[in-house]
Structure 1
Amino acid sequence: MAQLTLITGGQRSGKSSYAQKYATQLSSQPIYLATSRIWDEEHRKRIERHKADRDERWVNIEEEKFISTHNFKGKVVLIDCITLWLTNFFFDNKSDIDLSLSQAQKEFDALLKQDAHFIIVTNEIGLGGMPENEIQRKFTDLQGWMNQYIAQKANEVILMVSGIDVKIK
C-alpha cells in the first residue's frame, strides 16, 4: 500500500528543498520524478538549477503525464511537482478543467496502487489574489481541486511558509 506525503506552499516557500531532504532521510537512493515540460529558456534554467541541487544518490526520471507507468515498488519517490504535471493535462486538453481533472485523478489513483512512499510537491496558487484572466482562473480552480483530492488521500500534509514546515495532517 502506498504511503503519501503532500508538501504544499507558495512559490519559493522551500517546498522542494524540504521534500529532497525528507526523501534522503527515508532512502539512500530516492527517485526524483520530474513532471515539467520545458516551456522557455528561463524555465529550462530553473530546471537545471533543480537538477544541480541533487547529488549522485538520486535516480532521476522525467515523465510529463503518465506517472503510474513506472515501477516504484518499495521505493521512495519525490514527485516535483503536481502543478507542472497538471499544466500538461490542462494545455493538452485545451483548458478543459473537467477532462483534465478526471484524467489526472485517474492517473494519480493508478500511481497509488504501488507499494511505495510518495512525496508529492504542489503549489498553493490560490492563496494569492484572483487571477485577472479566464485561463488563469480555470487553472487555479483545477489546481485547488487536485490539491484537495491528493490531501484527502495523504497520510501526511506539510505546508511550507517562508522555509518553515507546518504540519497540517
Structure 2
Amino acid sequence: MKLVMVTGGIRSGKTDYSERYVLEHGVSPYFYLPTALPGDPLWEARISLHQEKREARFLTLEIEPAALLKKADSGEVLKEHILHSLTVEGSLLLDSLGLFVAACLAENDAVWQGTVNGVLDLIKRRTHLTVVVAEEVGMTLVPGTREGRLFTDRLGEFRQIIAGLSEEVIFVLSGLPLMLKTRTIPG
C-alpha cells in the first residue's frame, strides 16, 4: 500500500498539487475519483472548471446520473461508488474526503463507523498509489450547528486515521506544499 494524504484549506491548491503528484509518482492508468455530487448551478460550474483543468491522462470515475435518479439517498450512491472505485488497478486520486463525509452525515454513528472501516479496508488492500485529498478543519471557530460539529468531528477523525496510515502527508498552503510526514528510509 502506498498512501499519501494531501490536506489544506479551501482553495489552497491541494487538488492541483495532488494531480501533479499522482502523475509524477504513480503508474498508469491514472484514475481520478471525484466525490462532488451535482447540486446548484454555482457548484456545477466549479465541477466543470475542475474537469476542464484536469490532465487528459486521468480516467475520471464519475457516478452515472441515472444511478442518482434510482435512489433517493445520493450519499448512499456516492458511498457505493467510492467503495467500488477503490478496487481499480492503477494510481488513484480521491478528491475529496470532506465532500464524502458531508454526503454521509445522515448515517448514525454505527453505520458511519462501518463506512469508515470499509473505506480503510479497501485502501489498505490497494497495491498502487492512492492519494487522498482531505480538507483541513478545526482552524477556525467551532461550528454553531449540530450538523457542522458532526461534520468537523467526523472529518477530523477520519483525516487523522488516514494520516496515520499514510507514508506521506502534505499540507498545501497557497499552492505550496509543506511536508508534514515523509517516508522513513530504512538504514
Per the normalisation by structure 1, the TM-score is 0.89
25-34 or 123-132: which moved more? 25-34
2:70 is aligned to none
RMSD: 1.7
Output the amino acid matched with 1:65. K
Output the amino acid matched with 2:91. V
Output the amino acid matched with 1:162. S
58-67 or 123-132: which moved more? 58-67
Does the 8 Å contact 2:9/2:173 carry over to 1? Answer: yes
SS of match in other structure, 2:105: helix
SS of match in other structure, 2:5: strand
Distance 2:117 2:40 in 1: 27
Does the 8 Å contact 1:101/1:142 carry over to 2? Answer: no
Output the amino acid matched with 2:79. K
Name the count of aligned residue pairs: 164
Output the amino acid matched with 1:18. Y
2:144 is aligned to 132
Does the 8 Å contact 2:104/2:112 carry over to 1? Answer: yes
Distance 1:142 1:16 in 2: 21
Does the 8 Å contact 1:90/1:97 carry over to 2? Answer: no
Does the 8 Å contact 1:97/1:138 carry over to 2? Answer: no
1:58 is aligned to 58
SS of match in other structure, 1:46: helix
Per the normalisation by structure 2, the TM-score is 0.81
Distance 1:156 1:37 in 2: 28
1:35 is aligned to 35
Give the CA deviation at 1:49.
0.8
Output the amino acid matched with 1:112. K
Give the CA deviation at 1:97.
4.3
Point out the structure with max Rg over C-alpha: 2
Q: Structure 1: where are the runs of 5+ without partners?
A: none
Output the amino acid matched with 2:10. Q
Does the 8 Å contact 2:7/2:170 carry over to 1? Answer: yes
Does the 8 Å contact 2:36/2:99 carry over to 1? Answer: yes
Q: Structure 2: where are the runs of 5+ without partners?
A: 64-77, 182-187
SS of match in other structure, 2:125: coil
Distance 1:45 1:119 in 2: 24
Give the CA deviation at 1:87.
1.5
How big is each residue's C-alpha offset from its partner over 1:2-51, in whole Å with a ceiling of 9 and x where there is no partner?
20000001101110010011111134541101112123221111111111
Give the CA deviation at 1:106.
2.1
2:75 is aligned to none
How big is each residue's C-alpha offset from its partner over 1:65-122, in whole Å with a ceiling of 9 and x where there is no partner?
132323323x11111011111112213x2xx345324312322322321211101101
Does the 8 Å contact 2:19/2:93 carry over to 1? Answer: yes
Output the amino acid matched with 2:169. V
